[in-house]
């Protein structure tokens, strides 16, 4: 799954003079953004390394910083800060860069950015490019605020107006987004909820109403804007509401309505406050409350989004499928989160004590799964035999005794076993459930059926054995859902635990490698996003991960072809020092 280049970063990069800095995905540009984000506070080299968590280490980041200094984009502030081993210089934006990229704004900035006139010094297009860059720098504070509380967010840049919005990663923006806009009257910070016809959205909105006081405090954030105004949009018209709590109640009562609440900071007020810090704090508080509202909600879609970091569209498909089918198969390459996802779905469907987890393997048999005769040592020391019920029969009998409760059997790596041998005559029962469809078991002679309140969730690694080789009769009795490597999940996971910059780097490397593997082999011979979901990624580094985890698998993929292995290595690692 491919995410387009970050719109905020693209807007900032576009405003830089050509040739003065590396590409938008280079570590040199990431160093520039990290220093620009801090504005007048700046960063030492050690603070820069701690912030970005680059796998290339302090020396490589220092080389990138030197290049920025030589290009006149940053400079020493004259201040020195302790690093633990001494004192180090603090780097800030140069005076020229500050005029173009500082996230804080004043009267002169608003006048310049909003001017519609074209003078000899700067064209209207150049003004607009610079305005979008300043907006993007300000909007990055929304990301930073959320990240401070380990919350991943996504952003959008309005192509028409000088405006940007931010919302919880993976969710529909209708669930709540923070917006920032710049025009000739100053800066506007808004909280917006849009209409959603999904019935489950109603529960979320109702739960949100319980946080009205906390959200009101989050929006005010201790800074008194000159104006505040709310508006609720309904089918028959709109209504203006100044009080935030009253506005939120009206928005929450009807999910098919939309609402926006706005704080206005005119140019003269911007001179007295740090608008970047204000937006950072608002974003941190608002997204924390929105995340808390999700966690309090029993909406299964939100549970999947939160626990598995999947996009809302995928979460909806999974919930709908597992709510309507009694046998579901999640397939895909290793590391795509299949086992974790089925565990979460099982918890949604029933309580923990009614879930049974099995791991299939090549020696697993019908006797292990359903029932069989097993040797037993008697009290006299002789060897006898007894009938032993397998996990499927045990769980089925429990489900039959409690028909008003749900039971879930999770089978991990279904296709590692000899499936026809393991399931035997149960193929009939998978298709025809209930007490009216009994069969006689071969060992005990008992009549047996699969109750309708027993759901079977299974996973299958498509690279181990092609789905097409799975017994056709069994395969058609399972509803299949394929999971592909998802770099968005990787980004969200790493952004919460490391840094956004490292998350983007890891996602881009994995994407390149998988595209190359799919081109030369197929989509089954790729790596899942879990392969790089490591909290210690910045310490271990991509090169070590390649040799420890990736190369042995790639060598098997290509049956020892060393040239192919080297091609894949270069695709994944590239220039480990990122000379740009």
User: In this predicted structure, what is the pLDDT of residue 468?
Assistant: 41
For the chain, what is the domain count?
A: 4
Reported as a single tens digit per residue, the pLDDT across 512-527 is 999 999 999 999 999 9
Same domain, yes or no: 213 and 130: yes
Could you give the CA distance from residue 148 to residue 286 in angstroms, rounded to a whole number? 12
Same domain, yes or no: 380 and 268: no
Of the pLDDT bands very low, low, confident and very high (cuts 50, 70, 90), residue 286 is very high
Reported as a single tens digit per residue, the pLDDT across 101-150 is 999 988 888 876 655 544 555 677 777 888 889 999 999 999 999 999 99
Report whether pLDDT(580) > 50. no
Reported as a single tens digit per residue, the pLDDT across 292-314 is 988 887 788 888 988 899 998 99
**C-alpha torsion 172→174→178→184, nearest 10:** 120
Could you give the CA distance from residue 358 to residue 380 in angstroms, rounded to a whole number? 34
Which of 300, 311, 296 has its CA nearest to residue 344? 300
DSSP reduced 3-state for 272:
coil
**Residue 230, CA distances (Å) to 66, 119, 264, 266 in order:** 48, 38, 11, 17
Provide the pairing of β-strand 87-93 with 439-440: unpaired
- Residue 121: count other Cβ atoms within 10 Å of its Cβ: 7
Could you give the CA distance from residue 199 to residue 300 in angstroms, rounded to a whole number? 12
Of the pLDDT bands very low, low, confident and very high (cuts 50, 70, 90), residue 260 is very high
Whole domain around residue 470: which residue ranges?
311-482
Provide the pairing of β-strand 407-412 with 454-461: parallel
| Whole-structure pTM value | 0.82
Same domain, yes or no: 520 and 475: no
495 close to 535: Cβ distance less than 8 angstroms: no
The answer to whether residue 397 is domain-embedded is: yes
Residue whose pair of structure tokens reads 């807007």 in the numeric block: 11
Same domain, yes or no: 147 and 68: no
Same domain, yes or no: 94 and 115: no
The answer to whether residue 495 is domain-embedded is: yes
User: In this predicted structure, what is the pLDDT of residue 111?
Assistant: 76
Which of 56, 37, 166, 156 has its CA nearest to residue 103? 37
Report whether pLDDT(556) > 50. yes
Beta bridge partners of 487: none
Same domain, yes or no: 291 and 349: no
Q: Give the H/E segment covering residue 77.
A: strand 74-82
DSSP reduced 3-state for 20:
coil
Same domain, yes or no: 469 and 496: no
The answer to whether residue 529 is domain-embedded is: yes
């Amino acid at each position: 799954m491919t995410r387009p280049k970050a719109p905020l970063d693209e807007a900032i990069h576009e405003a830089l003079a050509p040739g003065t800095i590396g590409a938008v995905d280079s570590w040199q540009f990431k160093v520039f953004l990290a220093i620009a984000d801090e504005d007048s506070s700046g960063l030492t080299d050690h603070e820069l390394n701690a912030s970005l968590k680059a796998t290339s280490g302090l020396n490589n980041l220092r080389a990138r910083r030197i290049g920025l200094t030589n290009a006149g984009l940053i400079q020493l502030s004259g201040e020195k800060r302790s690093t633990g081993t001494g004192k180090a210089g603090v780097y800030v934006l140069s005076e020229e860069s500050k005029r173009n990229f500082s996230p804080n704004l004043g009267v002169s900035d608003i006048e310049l950015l909003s001017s519609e006139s074209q003078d000899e010094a700067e064209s209207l297009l150049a003004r607009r490019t610079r305005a979008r860059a300043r907006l993007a720098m300000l909007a990055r504070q929304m990301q930073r605020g959320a990240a401070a509380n380990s919350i991943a967010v996504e952003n959008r840049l309005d192509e028409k107006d000088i405006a940007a919005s931010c919302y919880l990663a993976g969710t529909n923006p209708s669930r709540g987004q923070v917006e920032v806009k710049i025009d000739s009257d100053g800066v506007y910070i808004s909280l917006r909820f849009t209409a959603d016809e999904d019935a489950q959205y109603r529960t979320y909105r109702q739960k949100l109403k319980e946080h009205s006081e906390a959200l009101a405090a989050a929006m005010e954030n201790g800074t008194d804007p000159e104006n505040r105004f709310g508006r609720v949009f309904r089918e028959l018209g709109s209504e203006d509401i100044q009080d935030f709590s009253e506005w939120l109640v009206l928005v929450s009562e009807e999910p098919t309505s939309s609402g926006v609440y706005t704080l206005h900071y005119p140019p003269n007020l911007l001179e007295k406050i740090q608008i970047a810090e204000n937006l950072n704090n608002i974003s941190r508080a608002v997204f924390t409350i929105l995340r808390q509202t999700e966690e309090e909600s029993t909406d299964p879609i939100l549970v999947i989004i939160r626990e598995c970091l999947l996009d809302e569209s995928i979460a909806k498909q999974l919930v709908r499928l597992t709510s309507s089918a009694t046998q579901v198969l999640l397939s895909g390459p290793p590391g795509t989160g299949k086992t974790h996802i089925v565990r979460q779905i099982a918890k949604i469907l029933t309580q923990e004590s009614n879930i049974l987890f099995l791991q299939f393997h090549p020696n697993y048999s019908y006797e292990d799964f359903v029932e069989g005769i097993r040797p037993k040592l008697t009290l006299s020391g002789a060897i006898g035999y007894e009938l032993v019920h397998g996990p499927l029969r045990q769980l089925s009998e429990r489900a039959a005794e409690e028909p008003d409760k749900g039971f879930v059997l999770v089978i991990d790596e279904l296709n590692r076993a000899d499936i026809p041998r393991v399931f035997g005559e149960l193929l009939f029962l998978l298709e025809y459930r209930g007490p009216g469809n009994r069969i006689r078991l071969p060992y005990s002679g008992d009549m047996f059926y699969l109750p309708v309140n027993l759901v079977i969730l299974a996973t299958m690694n498509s690279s181990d054995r092609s789905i097409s080789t799975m017994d056709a009769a069994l395969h058609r009795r399972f509803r299949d859902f394929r999971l592909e490597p998802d770099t968005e999940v990787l980004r969200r996971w790493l952004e919460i635990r490391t840094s956004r910059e490292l998350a983007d780097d890891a996602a881009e490397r994995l994407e390149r490698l998988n595209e190359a593997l799919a081109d030369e082999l197929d989509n089954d011979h790729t790596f899942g996003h879990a392969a790089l979901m490591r909290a210690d990624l910045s310490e271990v580094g991509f090169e070590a991960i390649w040799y420890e985890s990736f190369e042995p698998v790639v060598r098997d993929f290509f049956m020892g072809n060393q040239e192919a292995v080297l091609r894949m290595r270069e695709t994944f690692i590239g220039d480990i020092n990122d000379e740009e």
